[in-house]
Amino acid sequence: MIYLDCDVLVNMDIRDLWEIETGGNYVAAVVDEGLRKQKLFSVGGLMCWINCCKPSAYFNSGVLLMNLAEIRGMGNFFALSVEWFKYHPHTSEFGDQDALNALFFGKVKLIDSRFNRHKGLEDSDLSNSIIHMI
């Protein structure tokens, strides 16, 4: 299944995303460049670790190719999410994105940034890509 936030513009053939093999991972997603660049002992880096994530593998949840068969194999995903939020009520800055990164940790295929480019990045070529408008 392809998940798209409401603030994305698809400026490419969406089949390019659909045809990516997840390789048994829960999702295929683009690394969140803002968090990836955080130093381990920065506030963002520490919050990521506290939330059971790794900054260099933290993905943006605005565009996801989801492997529903693998996700269903986790068990009750809703209950797992509620449980995660119960133990991280004050450290989750990005809500669902933090929870997904924690719950899917180690089972994420990182894909090319053209599948989730951020409008406003001056060095980004927005052609043949999915553009996140935030």
Q: What is the CATH number of the domain that holds 86?
A: 3.90.550.10
Q: Look at the chain and report how many structural domains it folds into.
A: 1
> Residue 120: pLDDT above 80?
no
> Does the reported pTM lie above 0.75?
yes
The 10 Å Cβ neighbour count of residue 127 is: 10
Expressed as residue numbers, the domain containing 90 is 2-132
- B/e letters for 76-93, b = 16+ CB within 10 Å, e = fewer, are eeeeeeeebeeebeeebe
Query: Do the beta carbons of residue 119 and residue 132 sit within 8 Å?
Result: yes
Query: Do the beta carbons of residue 1 and residue 68 sit within 8 Å?
Result: yes
Task: List the single range of 47-56, 92-101, 113-122 with lowest mean pLDDT.
Answer: 47-56
Summary count for the chain: helices (H), strands (E):
6, 7
